[in-house]
Structure 1
């Protein structure tokens, strides 16, 4: 199964979530997207559920020299969450990654200001929160985001993604109340291989979507 683009993937996820909404299982929903790629996936979900949409900005901490390989992540001002096994295998320490964390924290706050502007951070407590991304490889960024949200006492915490690595899906089920993943292929290599169109999402696309579907507190 392939998705034409992120919007197509979001529409398929929305159909799955609408089944829960019809049963009354999604009370006072809030859709939060992991930017940038999760935002165009989340938009059809927010529209279908008639729910507000906002972003939860998280930043991946990559392996030195291989930034695309995530071994940790940060959300807000929370301490970094690391894949401890990966750190040990690579012989890395948290101290060695300190400069990378500081750089990513600066970028995180820049994106929060760019995407949210003067809008307040939406209330999470006692709501059904649906966290959306365009797919999960290692899942370390989503895991950091889920733990950040869990500390705010949502009534229900759902992670919705079009595709994920099977081992990552197993891990996420212990971090969330429900995982909605449309496919977990055994031959998973990278998220982009399951999309016909997987272009980079830019800040302008993110802010445009959020202007039309912004969250209220």
Structure 2
């Protein structure tokens, strides 16, 4: 069994060498998935002298099967739809609009909560590293990748301390590089791979983003 990380900060520090090797530029944009991915991303951005932002993602779930994604929206106006799912599920334009409006309202609420008036950093033409504290099913990360691709980053990387084998095998081919420190055969939950796995609060996210924005 792999040794658990002490906390998210240690996990972020441990990711630095692997991410540094995977980068093709010296000015990446680090995007943390709130809330738990932000402390990991903060450590990574600090060590790489990189810009830090959050990527708020909302999956557009099929109304009668919410776990099935018919698309996703994210920070920066990203929007992507899965036409195959829309067709197979018989989703009407009105039904899609209703789900999308609900998720846009929630995305806007969370962005206002986390950003405190700061606009999202521009992804277009940037090398982007998408960070979370771990990946279990991969559904949220997959939605994030789908949405980010629509914003035209030049390269897209995923960096996570720990991932289930299934999620890693599924997500790896979807990005330009997949950095993961541990892929245990018996995964369980993300939290079991940390000695301390306290909930990251919205205040924590705001504090870390504010700190990163003030760096020279």
- Note if 1:132 corresponds to 2:131: yes
Retained in 2: the 8 A contact 1:32–1:56? yes
| In structure 1, C-alpha distance between the alignment counterparts of 2:117 and 2:19, rounded to whole Å | 30
| In structure 2, C-alpha distance between the alignment counterparts of 1:215 and 1:171, rounded to whole Å | 37
What does 1:78-97 align with in structure 2 at a 5 Å threshold? 78=79
The answer to which of 1-10 and 112-121 deviates more is 112-121
TM-score (norm 1): 0.80
1:197 Cα deviation from its structure 2 partner: 1.2
1:26 Cα deviation from its structure 2 partner: 2.8
1:28 Cα deviation from its structure 2 partner: 2.1
| In structure 2, C-alpha distance between the alignment counterparts of 1:140 and 1:182, rounded to whole Å | 19
The answer to which of 188-197 and 95-104 deviates more is 95-104
1:129-184 per-position Cα deviation (integer Å, ceiling 9, x unaligned)? 00001111111111111122112221211000111111111111121111001111
1:74 corresponds in structure 2 to 72
| In structure 2, C-alpha distance between the alignment counterparts of 1:19 and 1:146, rounded to whole Å | 21
Unpaired runs of 5+ residues, structure 2, are none
What is the alpha-carbon root mean square deviation over aligned residues?
3.1
| In structure 1, C-alpha distance between the alignment counterparts of 2:185 and 2:104, rounded to whole Å | 34
**Paired residue total:** 205
Q: Where does structure 1 differ by over 4 angstroms across 4 or more consecutive aligned residues?
A: 60-64, 79-82, 92-104
SS in 2 for 1:3: coil
In structure 2, the CA distance between the partners of 1:38 and 1:175, relative to structure 1 (3 Å rule), is same
2:147 corresponds in structure 1 to 148
1:13 corresponds in structure 2 to 15
| In structure 1, C-alpha distance between the alignment counterparts of 2:106 and 2:147, rounded to whole Å | 18
SS in 2 for 1:208: helix
| In structure 2, C-alpha distance between the alignment counterparts of 1:145 and 1:50, rounded to whole Å | 23
SS in 1 for 2:35: coil
| In structure 1, C-alpha distance between the alignment counterparts of 2:102 and 2:189, rounded to whole Å | 25
